[in-house]
């Protein structure tokens, strides 16, 4: 009795298989989509930040103008001229009540 074995050489793999190439291509595609999405969001939030910055500067300027207006209307010269304009005069004699 003789045993006959067939000699089949192992197939040599040349580089990556199609499965690995598809996985790498899918991974790169996902990374590209994520990069585009992130860039788009950064630009959008940058625009919003710029608008908020301009609004903040405008509000600070308006606040300073209002503070200046309040300070000028509380000054003694303004109060004296406004009271004279309304007909008030300094008292001639002061009377104290006990």
**Contact indicator for 72, 78 with CB cutoff of 8 Å:** yes
Domain count along the chain: 1
Q: Note whether residue 64 is domain-resident.
A: yes
pLDDT given for residue 8 in this prediction: 67
The DSSP secondary structure of 66-77, one letter per residue, reads: HHHHHHHHTSHH
**Structural domain that includes position 35:** 18-83
The DSSP symbol for 93 reads S
Which residue is associated with the tokens 């959008």?
44
What distance in Å separates the CA atoms of residue 38 and residue 92, rounded to the nearest whole number?
Answer: 78
Q: For residue range 3-52, list pLDDT tens digits in order.
A: 777 766 665 556 668 888 899 999 999 999 999 999 999 999 999 999 99
Q: Note whether residue 97 is domain-resident.
A: no
Q: Note whether residue 94 is domain-resident.
A: no
The DSSP secondary structure of 27-92, one letter per residue, reads: HHHHHHHHHHHHHHHHHHHHHHHHHHHHHHHHHHHHHHHHHHHHHHHTSHHHHHHHHHHTT----S
Q: Note whether residue 66 is domain-resident.
A: yes
Q: Note whether residue 26 is domain-resident.
A: yes
Q: For residue range 40-94, list pLDDT tens digits in order.
A: 999 999 999 999 999 999 999 999 999 999 999 898 888 888 898 998 888 888 8
Q: Note whether residue 2 is domain-resident.
A: no
Q: Note whether residue 45 is domain-resident.
A: yes
Q: Note whether residue 5 is domain-resident.
A: no
């Amino acid at each position: 009795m003789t045993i006959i074995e067939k000699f089949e050489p192992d197939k040599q793999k040349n580089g990556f298989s199609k499965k690995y190439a598809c996985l790498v291509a899918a991974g790169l595609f996902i990374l590209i989509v994520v990069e585009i999405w992130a860039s788009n969001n950064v630009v959008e939030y940058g625009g919003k930040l710029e608008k908020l910055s301009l609004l903040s500067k405008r509000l600070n300027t308006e606040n300073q103008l209002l503070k200046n207006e309040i300070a000028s209307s509380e000054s003694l010269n303004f109060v004296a001229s406004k009271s004279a304009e309304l007909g008030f005069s300094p008292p001639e004699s002061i009377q104290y009540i006990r």
